[in-house]
Amino acid sequence: MSLLLVSKNRDLKPYKEALLELDPNIEIDIWPGVSNPDRVQFAVAWRHPANLFEKFPNLKVISSLGAGVDHLLSDDTIPESIQFTRIVAPSLSGQMSDYILTAVLNIIRRTDNYLDQQRKTVWKPLDSLKKAEISVGVMGLGQIGSEVAKILVRNGFNVSGWSRTKKTIEGVTCYTKDELGAFLGKINIAICLLPLTPETGGILNLDLFKGLKQPAYLINAARGEHLVEEDLIYALDTDLIHHATLDVFSEEPLPESHPFWGRKKITITPHIASVTDPQESAELILENYKRMLSGMDLLHKVDREAGY
């Protein structure tokens, strides 16, 4: 039996090398170089080509190469009989916490304003936002979102969280699905860490922006499809949103002609908030591969109905 690695935009050789270091006896193919499709029972995928998995009649499990699984759930050619898993690694939570904390600190210390002043050779101290006067809201309180919320609490911020089901996190005021309005009305900085599902697609829209406390800011490190881009441009132009930090986009890489480029009120990073480590991922992939071969329960299984 063999394991297949698939991605349209990621170098998978480090993942193959890490897997073979752990178990040199595994048969591993990297798409499109598949020696025998009939032998593939386990696949690891990130942004896979459409309809690809129809070619593997004995496929049993597909693991996402990251925490997100929307690229699998949106492929309706994958049979319901195939189980989905995802990578849940401690380093992903740590990286995301660092990224979000940095973005929030940049907002309250007005780093982007100072960078703009530097380009213009302007020396002008600006008033910082005070932690006590700013509230931060984390949208999505899964494993990563919960860790981000805890880090923000430990750094002295007023933190609220919003999720589909009720969560209890020390120091965090938690809201559920039906309490979005109350959640938004309490926060200045909206941080999107939601899974991408039919319910959350386009959730970062003009109505949501209007519900935030002023001054309002946006950080999106979840999926580009959460954001209605034209609504953000309008919100920035009308000062409904004072600044946006974006790590994810509907089209990646972000096209050179995209209107987000060159805007002083937008900070762009190239989907680097939380990057899967090949060595750490290999251990998790190998564990689930062996569990599949042994007929054991898989780790970090995805609930297709919930979307994560």
- Tens digit of each residue's pLDDT (9 = 90 or more) over 220-249: 999 999 999 999 999 999 999 999 999 999
What global pTM score does this model have? 0.92
pLDDT for 261 equals: 97
Domain boundaries, the chain: 2-89+276-294, 91-268
Positions of the chain with pLDDT lower than 50, given as ranges: none
pLDDT for res 305: 85
Which entry of 110, 271, 291, 304 is annotated as an active-site residue? 271
On the question of a common fold for 2-89+276-294 and 91-268, the answer reads: yes
Give the position of tokens 């949501």. 208
pLDDT at position 200, please?
A: 96
Task: Say what the pLDDT of residue 116 is.
Answer: 94
User: What pLDDT is attached to residue 89?
Assistant: 87
Catalytic residue list contains 86: no
Among 48, 71, 223, 243, the one annotated catalytic:
223
At 67 the pLDDT is: 87
| Four-way CATH pick for 91-268: 3.30.70.890, 3.40.190.10, 1.10.10.10, 3.40.50.720 | 3.40.50.720
Q: What is the model's pLDDT at position 133?
A: 93
CATH superfamily of 2-89+276-294: NAD(P)-binding Rossmann-like Domain (3.40.50.720)
Per-residue pLDDT at 148: 98
| 39 assigned to active site | no
pLDDT reported for residue 308: 85
pLDDT the model gives residue 164: 93
